[in-house]
Amino acid sequence: MRAQGGAFRARIPVSGDWIVPQIVILPLVAFDRHGHRLGYGGGFYDRTLELLRATGPVQAVGFAFAAQEADEIPVEETDQPLDLIITESGIVVPS
């Protein structure tokens, strides 16, 4: 497969079949039991999830340490919720 250089020197395929993920794993700084998350401030995952969810169902899964759980995370209109949070203490299914 041929690839070309892209942003941040990432290799991007010139051609090929594209897939649309049904599960996206998201990094996070903090989360709450409602499925809200604090990310790293760029909004990249929220925008990507919004686009993916417009085409069909996509599960957003956050991986975190249990100590990263907060009582409440502030939410903005553009924030996309998590469907599942996995920690070393167990799985959190947002309410």
Domains and CATH numbers, the chain: 17-92 (3.40.50.10420)
Give the pLDDT mean for 17-38.
94
| Residues with catalytic function | 37, 46, 79
Give the pLDDT mean for 33-55.
94
pLDDT score of 30: 98
pLDDT score of 18: 81
Give the pLDDT mean for 5-24.
83
pLDDT score of 7: 75
Give the chain's count of helices (H) and strands (E): 1, 8
pLDDT score of 1: 58
- b/e map 32-62, b = 16+ CB within 10 Å: beebbbebeeeeebbebbeebeeeeebebeb
Report the DSSP beta bridge partners of residue 69.
Answer: 31
Contact in structure between 62 and 42 (CB atoms under 8 Å): no
